[in-house]
Structure 1
């Protein structure tokens, strides 16, 4: 299929995300057609899928280990608007895994550093900076401004706040967590039902309550292999692209587990609690 034919195919089944109406045009420029040529040549994506990416607004929580590859790959993919939420500054110990930041950025806000990197990578992407810590009080109005939310946070309080807000605002949530040598990934859409008529599970179905404080050590306490965050963050970006373009089968109701030391992936299914 030619690029011109792909460009003319403007409508495709939006099975997973209904991207909101935008004022900016979705037409792809000549430069964008060349930039995204390897996407557009894929029959599953094509010109219409690339236009969906251009129209999409994605909120990424955290510009750290997971957020770094998520932001880079979504920016490279041509997502039209990326919102970045983080209230931290870049430290030297971050650079072992948070590869969106460079040594000159040490001491600067992670949101600003990430935005600079994104603009160098793809100037077509609009970056929206939110220098804040997300909590139960402020999450919902922010989540409502975006089509898909990607959770790269590192604590349960923030994870619950994000998940609850996404459920209330009916936004798909791509969640991942990492520790030492392993990680997990899932997609949450508890506001929809599966083919059996049963509602998809929520984050609270997967984790009914947070573990006691101190039970799950932080990266600073337990350590982490830098490349691990790249594996899980890249998978988060892939799931997000699937949601936006409507291709493939997202990890809804399935938890992907990755063991880095054994180089093994496993998937377990989970359901809505009664």
Structure 2
């Protein structure tokens, strides 16, 4: 059975209904869920191995506006895993390269490039402009800053990380009173984990993590399923295994706890 704008009576045109028809057919999404995606604004911090696949799937799904934040340029060592970029993009800003690829995939969405390392007021302003944030960065300091901004502005945060053959994904939804934050899980210590340039990482693993981040974002934006709130999904690429840990909000957390002024 076909779907037409005259039948559903919503703001989408026939071309959009055709483009997103395979999602609309899902009862968990339907026309209303697709319209919510089209109306949504998402900030993706980091346009590398995680942010690339996440952005591609969000653009393909019709998330209406994507803010792409990264201050780095494409390097030859990136291409093994950062598949949103190509050889022709070497030395280009990652946001420009990613924007070209996403625009070619779905010219109907709006793309905004933020070619700087977001911090302080700039970070708060970017988070304030969106409905949801994806943390696709690769260092502890940036993750803590993004988490703090999302806590302050009550924006859902989808966090992902990968190193070597291990990956993880979690969701922190500060609209919910029971949601922990990133700092509840990891505290406020220094980043002692090695970087990808030190420990290495396998391309398909970051693709898995980024794709899962996109999936969690779509669930939150369209309003279906059970997001990974209060759960940390651990991925063992060596064994093709998944493990889930329950995490709770820490009342004494310096970022989101009662002592920090959050109820």
Q: CA deviation at 1:6?
A: 10
Q: In structure 2, which of residues 103, 109, 113 is the aligned counterpart of residue 119 of structure 1?
A: 103
1:212-227 equivalences in 2 (<5 Å): 215-227=192-204
Q: How far did 1:273 drift?
A: 1.5
Give the aligned CA root-mean-square deviation in angstroms: 1.6
What is residue 259 of structure 2 aligned with on the other side? none
Query: Mapping of 1:84-95 within 5 angstroms?
Result: 84-95=68-79
Q: Is the 8 A contact 2:5 2:14 kept in 1?
A: no
Q: Deviations over 1:90-131 (max 9, x none)?
A: 001101110000100001000000000001100011001000
- Alignment correspondent of 2:139: 155
Contact residue 7 and residue 48 of structure 1 kept, 8 A: no
Matches within 5 A, 1:13-162: 27-162=11-146
Aligned to 1:230: 207
Are positions 1:206 and 2:185 aligned together? yes
**Cα 1:174–1:6, aligned 2, differ >3 Å: closer, same or farther?**
farther
SS of aligned partner of 2:155? coil
Q: Aligned pair 1:186/2:170, yes or no? A: yes
Distance 1:63 1:125, change over 3 A: same
Q: Pick the aligned partner of 1:258 from 235, 242, 258.
A: 235
Gaps (5+ residues) in structure 1?
A: 11-26, 194-198
CA distance in 2, matches of 1:126, 1:58: 11
Q: In the TM superposition, what whole-angstrom CA distance separates every residue of 1:187-224 from its partner, at most 9, and x where no partner exists? A: 0023422xxxxx32111110112345xx3111011110
How far 1:137 sits from its partner (Å)? 4.3
Distance in 2 (alpha carbons) for counterparts of 1:125 and 1:74? 10
Alignment of 1:236-251 (within 5 A): 236-251=213-228
Shift of 1:31: 1.2
Distance 1:5-1:111 versus aligned 2 partners, 3 A rule? closer
**Does the Cα contact within 8 Å between 2:150 and 2:174 map onto a contact in 1?**
no
Residue 239 of structure 1 contacts residue 251 of structure 1 at CA under 8 Å; is this kept in 2?
Answer: yes
Question: Which secondary structure state, in structure 2, belongs to the residue aligned with residue 257 of structure 1?
Answer: strand
TM-score normalized by structure 2?
0.91
CA contact (8 A) 1:3 1:41 kept: no
**TM-score normalized by the length of structure 1:** 0.88
Shift of 1:50: 0.8
Say if 1:28 and 1:51, in contact at 8 Å, map to a contact too.
Answer: yes
Q: Which runs of 5+ in 2 are unaligned?
A: 252-263
Deviation at 1:47, TM superposition (A): 1.1
Residue of structure 2 equivalent to 1:22: none
